[in-house]
Amino acid sequence: MKRMLSGIKPTGQLHLGNYIGALRHFVEYQDEYEMFAFIANLHCITVPQDPKELQQNLRDCVALYLACGLDPDRANIFLQTDVRAHAQLGYIMCCHTYMGELNRMTQFKDKMAHGEKNLSGGLYTYPSLMAADILLYDPDYVPVGEDQKQHVELTRDLAIRMNNRYGELFHVPEPLVAKVGARIMSLSDPSKKMSKSDETNKGCIYLLDDLKAARKKVMSAVTDNCAKVHFDPENQPGISNLMQILSSLSDERPMADIEAEFEGRGYGDFKRSVADAVCAKLEDIQNRYNEVLSSGAIDRALEKGAQRASVLADEKLAKVQKAIGMEIITK
């Protein structure tokens, strides 16, 4: 069975972009692949965190994994720090990453360009840790949204570099970026990605948003004055974004189909249909989230997932350390 791995970094609440770009694919693939889905808590602390809020966000993230349909009997769900090999291989990967490569990573470059102060060393080197997260498990595919593709490409480069230097250590994975929904944009500014760090809180729909608030966000989404529901991300970014959301939430409905349904109809009608689809999905997720919270399923899932993940990760770390010549007593 081929293997897949991915993770989410809950520095805030999970949002619709995380669901459409990543989480729904974890669920979709859990039968076809051996799935590893983890919660990237080491990545969370690359930016300042309030400890209580962080703990709540981590718990919510697991609860949402389960509420969205990941099944601990079919997928391995675990917390990154429960498998210590992540931090250890992360350091080794960091020593094999060039500063020039890290300088080219757009996420860090963007933060620098915005003049953000006191950025941490962890934030700078986090693509190396992400490479370790992936390579520990030799996955065939890494399902991610568009913004993480560059990091998976760096992971491939590092795997090839180390394989060339030390002999075959890692399987070289491929990013899996869906055609539709890999980059959901902010509802209030469709030139920006929907993100946890949305300052206005109008452009981002959180999976745990109150349904009325979510509906309002969709109804007030920025559109254009072309008066035509047409898929054209360049000239109609707001409408095209809403179409991507609708398509992703309705079994990848073709864009032509959506265009035909709304031909000659106003944006109000169209937005109502998008809001209905979003609210139906949120309601379903939130109902299951509440069940999960009171069921004890979170702890059970994490324990089981970490056990399975540790076996593979420890074995890989030992192999790498040995190949590099770091061990005295061979394990």
- Cite the active site residues: 111, 193, 196
Look-up: residue for tokens 């919270």? 293
> What is the nearest approach in angstroms of ligand TYM to the Cβ of residue 50?
18
The nearer residue to ligand TYM, 147 or 225, going by C-beta atoms, is 147
Residue 175's DSSP bridge partners are 142
The whole-angstrom separation of Cα 229 and Cα 256 is: 10
The whole-angstrom separation of Cα 233 and Cα 82 is: 41
**Residue 6 sits in the site that holds ligand TYM (CB under 6 A):** yes
Q: Position 20: which residue type? A: I
**Residue 43 sits in the site that holds ligand TYM (CB under 6 A):** yes
**Residue 217 sits in the site that holds ligand TYM (CB under 6 A):** no
* Span 129-148, contacts to ligand TYM by CB under 6 A: 130, 133-134, 142, 144-145, 147-148
**Residue 90 sits in the site that holds ligand TYM (CB under 6 A):** no
Residues 6+ apart with CB under 8 A from 284: none
**Residue 7 sits in the site that holds ligand TYM (CB under 6 A):** yes
Which SS3 state, helix, strand or coil, does residue 221 take? coil
What is the CA 212 to chain-centroid distance, rounded?
26
**Residue 93 sits in the site that holds ligand TYM (CB under 6 A):** no
Residue 15's DSSP bridge partners are 206
* Span 14-33, contacts to ligand TYM by CB under 6 A: 17-18, 20-22
Exactly one of 24, 156, 183, 281 binds ligand TYM (CB under 6 A); that residue is 183
What burial class does residue 145 get, using C-beta atoms within 10 Å of its C-beta: 0-12 exposed, 13-18 middle, 19+ buried? buried
> What is the nearest approach in angstroms of ligand TYM to the Cβ of residue 267?
22
**Residue 40 sits in the site that holds ligand TYM (CB under 6 A):** yes
Residue 110 contacts residue 147 (beta carbons within 8 Å): no
The contact set with ligand TYM (CB under 6 A) reads 6-9, 17-18, 20-22, 40, 43, 130, 133-134, 142, 144-145, 147-148, 182-184, 193-194
